[in-house]
Amino acid sequence: MSGSIALLVVSPRVPAGLMTRDAWRRLESADAVLGRAGDEPLVEVARDEGFDVEIHDEPPAATAHALVAAGVTGRHVVWLGSADADPGLTDALAGELTRLDDPPPVEVVVGSWDAPGSRLLDAVAVMDTLRSPGGCPWDAQQTHASLAPYLVEEAFEVTEAIAEASGEHLREELGDVLLQVLFHARVAAEREEDGFDVDDVAATLVEKLVRRHPHVFADGAASNPEEVEAEWARIKAAEKPERDANDPLAGIPAGLPPLERAVKVVGRLTKAGQAERVEALAAEDSIGAALLDLVVQARGLGVDPSVALSATLSRLHAAPLGDHLGGIDHAEHAEPHPAPPDADLPRGGG
């Protein structure tokens, strides 16, 4: 009677012992359990549970031959997959099996899968390696201050990818922003005072999201976007009592690019019923006042001036040298770029 070969594989991002019941049954019913090294996580777990594991620390061809030899003699053998996925083993197995008239069946048994977000652990590990002794000398010398320009640059590249409506480009640029978050967290972990790491960053974010979404995680009553925004603003004001509640401009970062800052200021003052402050300033005779007036006009049209200007500049870049691009941007007027919110929305942090 023919035996069988089961290749037991698990996610390297999940503790080796957290396996499916089917995986444990395969081990329990196996005539032989093989592994590559005694310090492999799966081998250690199996031995801790009382299984006798034969070690085959040899080239893939020799391992494949041992597995097939066990299978053809009627034994049910389980191979405990290694952390590096045993490079070359499946090819060697295929070579052994194709030479047989009646080869034993081979099955891959998945003992565990990556949980959503598991690859973030890989990103954290890579960042740690780059920053640690023996890693990258450039990464090792960076500080929060030296990295700050890159974070701003990457954020703008994300907005560019969004405007292009390219999923591939957006995925790449979001990864670059994530790198900056991981980088800053890794730098902060080395601080002697008020240091923190990436887990602290994630914990703070989770706490904030849960706290500011009582309609989801508690007994809040907000049921539409407007009520959610109002509740978010109320909770945020309670969290930051040092800000002047009567000042609609409190909390707007002074470091925002001027156009984005102007959009925020106009939106906040208009929503607070103080539009006359903007109108008075926009009526002055200066270039700055004229630009502010354009922001006011864009708001009235429901257009994000920053995105609109970027779209126009993109047309200039895309046009062959010497082409005339006068006249109205008909595409822009046909489909206005949505204006940003008046206040910090629930996704706006702060």
Q: Taking a C-beta distance cutoff of 8 angstroms, is the pair 269, 249 a contact?
A: yes
Percentage of the residues of the chain whose pLDDT score is greater than 90: 61
Cβ atoms of 158 and 174 within 8 Å: the answer is: yes
User: In sequence order, which ranges of the chain are alpha helices (DSSP H)?
Assistant: 21-29, 41-48, 60-72, 89-97, 119-131, 137-140, 144-164, 167-188, 198-211, 214-217, 225-239, 258-271, 275-282, 287-301, 305-318, 330-334
- Residue-level pLDDT at 345: 44
Taking alpha carbons only, the member of 337, 328, 326 closest to residue 299 is 337
How far is residue 177's CA from residue 9's CA, in Å, rounded to a whole number? 32
Q: Which residue has the tokens 């925002």?
A: 256
According to the model, what pLDDT value does residue 163 have? Answer: 82
pLDDT at 242: 67
Distance CA 71, CA 206 (A): 50
| Per-residue pLDDT, 252 | 84
Q: Residue 154 and residue 177: Cα distance in Å, rounded?
A: 6
Hunting for tokens 């062959």 — which residue is that?
320
Sign of CA dihedral 270, 275, 277, 278: positive
Whether residue 69 contacts residue 77, with contact meaning beta carbons closer than 8 Å, is answered with no
Q: Determine the pLDDT at residue 323.
A: 63
Please give the pLDDT value at position 197: 96
Name the pTM for this structure: 0.66
Q: What's residue 343's pLDDT?
A: 42
Q: With a cut of 70, which residues of the chain have pLDDT below it?
A: 1, 242-245, 321-350
Q: 58 φ, ψ to 5°?
A: -150, 175
